[in-house]
Amino acid sequence: MNTQEFLEKIEVELKISKNSEHTIKNYVQANKDLLNFLNKEPEKVTEDDVKKYLSKISNRASSSIILFLAAIRYSFSNILKKDPTSGIKRPKRERKLPTVLSKQEIRKLLNSIENKKTKLMMAMLYACGFRVSELINLKIEDLDFNEKIGHVRQGKGKKDRMFNISSFLFKPLKSQIEQQKQNNQEFLFTGPKGKLTDRNIQKLLKKATEKAEVKKNVHPHTLRHSFATHLLEDGTDIRLIQELLGHADLSTTQLYAHVSSEQIKKIKSPIDTL
């Protein structure tokens, strides 16, 4: 079996298993990079070969190496019934604290946006704790104004979850829906070329961040991080935050317990009580 045949089989297996396009792309690319580096047929790849490639990419982040090893293990185990990574120790995942905006910075950012649709999209990323993919895949039918809730369909990990529609969003959301219905659109947000992409949202947010003169490194996920952190600061139970974010594991949500600067400020040093 040559490299191209192997890569095609990987793609088929991943699609059958209902993996996301993002996962399919990453897994196929990881295997392609390995095989191109080794210049070997897939059947002849050994554990030592994988280690050689790992030494080449050793300067990458732990998360990147973990993803690479997962891609190789999945592909070789499913296609060739062998695992050339079985004896390789996985690096520990780095736990970096995410960038978080203060409530004042969020307000400043939203107030800097003049376009109503752009402002609504950024407000929803923060107000609902959305991932970008969840925002751009949101459909008009997913919103229930009578119950004041919405539904994320098939989010990360193919899980559905509910979110609250805040009072702040009611009026602009209804206006956006009316406009989309007039244009016979299925999705809540679209652009001139149809469905929006992650890149569209990133560009809009970058422009807004610069205009608002927010000096932090802001990405769409920063608004999600800020949503979780501000809920924690306001006293929301961490298990409820886990549910709102759609985290499968509470340990992922607990990262925000280490981010909340407002909670840290409230802690008195024991020297002040002497």
Residues designated as active site:
131, 156, 221, 224, 247, 256
Query: Could you identify the residue written with the tokens 């970096």?
Result: 96
Is residue 149 a contact partner of residue 244, using CB atoms and an 8 Å limit?
Answer: no
String of DSSP letters for 40-108: --GGG--HHHHHHHHHHTTTS-HHHHHHHHHHHHHHHHHHTS--TTTTPPPPPPP-PPPP---HHHHHH
> Cα separation of 210 and 109, whole Å?
9
By the 10 Å C-beta count (0-12 exposed, 13-18 middle, 19+ buried), 34 is classed as buried
Cβ neighbors of 157 (< 8 A, separation 6 or more) are 246, 248
Spatial separation of the C-alpha atoms in residues 241 and 253, rounded to whole Å: 7
**What Rg, from alpha-carbon coordinates, does the chain have?**
22
Q: Which residues make Cβ contacts (< 8 Å) with residue 236, sequence separation at least 6?
A: none
Token duo for residue 254: 């607990």
